[in-house]
Chain A
Amino acid sequence: DTGVSQDPRHKITKRGQNVTFRCDPISEHNRLYWYRQTLGQGPEFLTYFQNEAQLEKSRLLSDRFSAERPKGSFSTLEIQRTEQGDSAMYLCASSLTGTSGPYEQYFGPGTRLTVT
């Protein structure tokens, strides 16, 4: 257990439905990242927050995706009008700037999304 939690762990939805995932990072961590991972591939960066500010979004993040981190604590990732291509594991990670390991991120267990 890394201290990063994600909810739900699994989600099955029908195409066209909206889904929302939640990530609770390690409490003192100011950075929060979202990644997506499909079978057999490494995780792909989607977006990141420093505190409550969303500072970078990948081109993978289409208009149907939105992420928030109100108050710089937990974060939500919403996918509207889901498509079968959205089926993947969605991973959240957090880190703390100013530490000796700038690339040391702590990942949650992920939310596995299946769109039918």
Chain B
Amino acid sequence: LAKTTQPISMDSYEGQEVNITCSHNNIATNDYITWYQQFPSQGPRFIIQGYKTKVTNEVASLFIPADRKSSTLSLPRVSLSDTAVYYCLVGRMDSSYKLIFGSGTRLLVRP
């Protein structure tokens, strides 16, 4: 499983767009990129998943360059309720699909 590197913490203000970049230099051909969000005292919540180029859903966008060695989670117009830990995960579609979490990025959204 590819190791991921992401910033330990980020600060933003309400209404701003937040981009969290994750490095995964050793990503394998069959690996997918997945992002989860976790609020204090809650389980993680799936945000978005992608393989290449760009994926968008109602919550976020995921940008993946052609070499796939990094990815960027984009949160449009954040609010205070987006304050959470964001995890970037890389894993292949093997038989278990277990999630391997790093330490994540702690995003603080200020008023």
Q: Which A residues have a C-beta under 8 Å from some C-beta of B? A: 2, 4, 31, 33, 35, 40-45, 48, 55-56, 91-93, 95, 101-110, 112
CB–CB A40/B103 < 8 A: yes
Q: How far is the CA of A91 from the CA of B44 in the complex (A)?
A: 9
Judging by beta carbons under 8 Å apart, are A48 and B104 in contact? no
Expressed in whole angstroms, the Cα–Cα distance for A40 and B38 within the complex equals 12
Q: Is the interface of B mostly helix, strand, loop or mixed?
A: loop
Which partner residue on chain B sits nearest A108 by CB separation? Answer: B43
Q: Does B45 contact A (CB under 8 A)?
A: yes
**Are A43 and B49 neighbours in the complex by a CB distance under 8 Å?**
no
- Asked if residues A103 and B42 are in contact (CB atoms below 8 Å), the reply is no
**Interface contact A48-B96, CB-CB below 8 Å:** yes
B104, A107: Cβ atoms closer than 8 Å: no
Complex partner residue of A109 from B43, B49, B95, CB under 8 angstroms: B43
**Inter-subunit contact B41/A103 (CB<8 Å):** no
Interface size on B, residues (CB 8 A): 24
Looking at the complex, which one of B42, B87, B97 makes contact with A102 (CB distance below 8 Å)? Answer: B97
- 0 or 1 for each of B32-44: is its CB under 8 Å from A? (1 = yes): 1010000001111
**Nearest-CB distance from B65 to chain A (Å)?**
20
- A48–B97 Cα distance when bound, in Å, is 9
Kindly supply a per-residue 1/0 record for chain B positions 53-77, scoring 1 wherever the CB is within 8 Å of any chain A CB and 0 otherwise.
Answer: 0000000000000000000000000
Q: Are A45 and B99 closer than 8 Å at their CB atoms? A: yes
Contact call A35/B99, Cβ cutoff below 8 A:
yes
Contacts of B98 in A (CB 8 A): 33, 45, 48, 56
Report the separation of the CA atoms of residues A35 and B41 in the bound assembly, to the nearest whole angstrom.
Answer: 14
B13 within 8 A of A: no
